[in-house]
Amino acid sequence: MVTHSGAGGGTDLTARITASLLEPIFEKSITIINKKGGGGALSLEYLDSRPADGYTILTYTSGQAAEVAKGSTKTTLKDLIPIARATDDPQILMVKCKRFENANQFIDKQKEEAFTYGTTHLGGIDDVSAFAFTAKGNLKTAEVIPFEGGNEISTQIVSGGVDVGVLNLGEAKVQIDAGQVCPIVVLADERMKALPHVATAKELGIPVSLSTVRGFVVKAGTPPDVVEKIEKAILDAMKKPEYHKFLDNLGLDETSIANKEVWGKQLEEADQEMRSSLKQLGFIKK
């Protein structure tokens, strides 16, 4: 099982718990291989170098999806077969608590002035989320300011360094629990169980749904019966209590888990959204 993150990162942990729960199902040990570099491009190249036999499973995330969309790697979605989704962590727009009365006021203010959006790095899911939300809402274009991580963004929200932070729920849990940072819009098709009072962008008339996702793929050309066997095994592994506890620790629930059809459709839709936004942001020249 291959991951593009370093040991201990969220993607690495997702791969490791899934692998540990898969081992008794397959009655085989599973080795985790960390292929860091190129925003995930090296992990894609490694998968491409392996036989299409199902013995190499890649943990695929929004980070690699951005590199594929930008053309930073020769791999395209056609070179991958979706297996199952492991986590679906919606992008959430967060603000300083009590700054806005509600989401409608938050949106209306941006029709008059551009807000600063704190994101992690540039050319990825975070700034695509900021751009897509403001563009499709006919709002003033977001001024994106990159930071190293979620903790720094949360601090900037509280101090007034940025107007909005693009974060996942787990990244700001401490500040949310302290009443300092408040989620105001979720970029998902449906409201999150953990945030039932927070409206989705679609409910507010802005058709944007983007998530930090992690799931599993194999190389195109893998025999269909092997694909089916791996999918069933992974879905069975993710039904176990240990996996649900893992999701709960991330502020997620069982709705994160999805079969290859749902996962594949989400990958295609996200690829289209990323390509469109990254082209307008200047990351794609053609």
Give this prediction's pTM: 0.82
- Read off the pLDDT of residues 103-123 as tens digits, 9 standing for 90 and up: 999 999 999 999 999 998 788
Give the containing element (helix H, strand E) for 212: strand 211-219
Bridging pattern class, strands 2-3 and 80-96 = unpaired
Residues with Cβ < 8 Å from 92, sequence gap 6 or more?
166, 167, 168, 169, 183, 185, 186, 187, 195, 198
Kindly give the confidence (pLDDT) of every residue in the chain, 286 residues in length, as a single tens digit, with 9 standing for 90 and above: 999 987 767 788 899 999 999 999 999 999 999 998 887 899 999 999 999 999 999 999 988 998 999 888 999 999 999 999 999 989 999 999 999 999 999 999 999 999 999 998 788 889 899 999 999 999 999 999 998 788 899 999 999 999 999 998 888 888 999 999 999 999 998 899 889 999 999 999 999 999 889 999 999 999 999 999 999 999 999 999 999 999 988 888 999 999 999 999 999 988 998 888 888 888 887 6
Instruction: State pLDDT tens for residues 135-171.
Output: 999 999 999 999 878 889 999 999 999 999 999 888 8
Let me know if 219 is exposed, middle or buried by CB neighbors in 10 A (0-12, 13-18, 19+).
buried
55: CB partners within 8 A, 6+ apart: none
First-last CA distance in the chain: 34
